[in-house]
Amino acid sequence: MELHAVAGLPEIRPGDDIAELVADRATLEAGDVLTVASTIVSKTEDRAVDLEEFPVSGRAAEIADRLEGITGDEKDPRFAQAVLEESTELLIDAPFLLTETRFGHICVNAGIDRSNVPDNDILLLPKRPAESAERIRSGLEDRGIEDVAVVVTDTCGRPFRHGQRGVALGWAGMPASRDWRGETDRDGHELGVTVQSVVDELAAAANLVTGEGDGGTPAVVVRDWEFGDHGGSDELFRSVEDDLIRQALREWRFDE
Amino acid sequence: MELHAVAGLPEIRPGDDIAELVADRATLEAGDVLTVASTIVSKTEDRAVDLEEFPVSGRAAEIADRLEGITGDEKDPRFAQAVLEESTELLIDAPFLLTETRFGHICVNAGIDRSNVPDNDILLLPKRPAESAERIRSGLEDRGIEDVAVVVTDTCGRPFRHGQRGVALGWAGMPASRDWRGETDRDGHELGVTVQSVVDELAAAANLVTGEGDGGTPAVVVRDWEFGDHGGSDELFRSVEDDLIRQALREWRFDE
């Protein structure tokens, strides 16, 4: 398997066509996966916005006030409002905000970024990353580049383990997961692994070569890799019903 | 970045020398990372064992009985005993066992595997995977192969997202994480990413090429990749104090 960062992408602006910008700078082959950081997808989709676009509700004011009291850091209630508007559920409301975004991804502050936005206050995640991935994939097809899967990525923390790692937000042209259920080891025993989250592993691999900040290269081509002859599943985000941790969080409140 | 599975490894047995087996089959260069699946590390360390080695305590009998009642599946109390002996804390005791292993990793059933063990009942994780990684690294050095980092990997599920992905259990010759704190984006804003869990991303990338079962290739060489000029941290496993999810789980009990 090989991963190559796409070199020379310009600063991305609203309306830019990522498929065109990548196709002009990289040779893509059938079977490749193109990973694209959500930051640049968001920028093309006009998701860099100012905090003044988020008039503060009573709930946002209350949340910001409580967080300020707990952390001792100044909290802008308009930021809390933006997080609420991007989310369907607040899983943790103190000492930080862990929410489920409108497209099912669970992360801190609804994934809203305060860096990487030169002309605005904040950068929201793409509204529907699966559609973004599909649009980039179609754009490649329009240029005669067939059979390239696209994964829109972000970085994200997690319970139990320190640090952030690359994760997939949306994908097109491949399943999210390899389904190994029913497959056996050399001796005929059923495998312990059941479902392998391939899009997340691709996002993690890509994140090793993208970097952040000044030297950032937000698009990566993955080559010489095969999904293989396995069942596929497109479910990546768990529902509350099959996630005990989410159920536990519903019954818990941070104790100041 | 390139990843190559090490081809032609034999079925691994107790006492086998992984450094030797890999060095005989792959050319390793300074700066490479060698990832090794914990399954083969465990086998060399005599961690394939039989259930009769786990005489059942009252607590294990109670746990197995309760799980049997909830799931309707037969549960061997000796397996519950093995999980307890491998763990320092039970985070979830029903409808499945989520525990912290003795070396700090949190996973279902203390990572005990019932597949991939031809001659025994179960395969325990390596006792101290960081020491295992260090031993393999030293073994490579003994053969004149210098400056190769080693990551012992496993696959593991997680809250919020379906599917398993590769994770690091132990590592040697590199930090666990890149520390980006204090670094800035193109416009001088502090980055949203703070600590990047590099060993987990390497494990995830490697898991894309290792496969499971019949075609499994448990060792992978990662090349043309750089840790880069960043601070490093060796903390991968969170403590209870800085993990709200663990705190929430302590106050929660599965409701039958």
- How many structural domains is chain A composed of? 1
The closest of B203, B146, B198, B213 to B3, measured between CA atoms, is B203
The distance of B58 to chain A (nearest Cα, Å) reads 26
What is the reported pLDDT for B242? 87
Mean pLDDT over all residues of chain B?
Answer: 93
pLDDT(A220) > 90: yes
Q: Between chain A and chain B, how many beta carbons pairs sit less than 8 Å apart?
A: 238
Q: What's the average model confidence in pLDDT over A95-115? A: 95
pLDDT(B72) > 60: yes
Does any domain span residue A200? yes
Give the tens place of pLDDT for each residue, A5-40: 999 999 999 999 999 999 999 999 999 999 999 999
Does any domain span residue B226? yes
Weakest-pLDDT range from A180-194, B30-44, B213-227: A180-194
pLDDT(A214) > 70: no
Instruction: Give CA–CA dist B77/B98, Å, rounded.
Output: 16
Instruction: Please enumerate in sequence order all residues whose Cβ is within 8 A of that of B124, keeping only pairs 6 or more positions apart, or say none.
Output: B42, B47, B48, B49, B82, B86, B110, B111, B112
Does any domain span residue A107? yes
Does any domain span residue B150? yes
Does any domain span residue A240? yes
Place of tokens 């290739």: B217
The closest of B212, B132, B223, B133 to B175, measured between CA atoms, is B133
Q: Write down the ipTM of this complex.
A: 0.95
pLDDT(A153) > 90: yes
- Asked if A256 is an interface residue toward chain B (Cβ–Cβ < 8 A), one would say no
Question: Does the annotation list A88 as a binding residue?
Answer: no
CATH number at residue A176: 3.30.1330.100
What is the reported pLDDT for A138? 98
Contact B245 A167 (CB under 8 A): no
Domain span including residue B143:
2-251
pLDDT(A213) > 60: no
Peptide bond into B95 cis (omega under 30): yes
Strands B87-92, B98-101: pairing kind: antiparallel
The packing angle between helices B198-210 and A198-210, to 10°, is 130
Instruction: Please enumerate in sequence order all residues whose Cβ is within 8 A of that of A240, keeping only pairs 6 or more positions apart, or say none.
Output: A246, A247, A250
B182 — pLDDT class (breaks 50, 70, 90): confident
Does any domain span residue A256? no
What is the reported pLDDT for A183? 76
Maximum mean pLDDT: which of A128-142, B109-123, B177-191, B212-226? A128-142
A215 — pLDDT class (breaks 50, 70, 90): low
Contact A185 B106 (CB under 8 A): no
pLDDT(B158) > 90: yes
Does any domain span residue B197? yes
Does any domain span residue B256? no
What is the reported pLDDT for B180? 82
- Asked if A114 is an interface residue toward chain B (Cβ–Cβ < 8 A), one would say yes
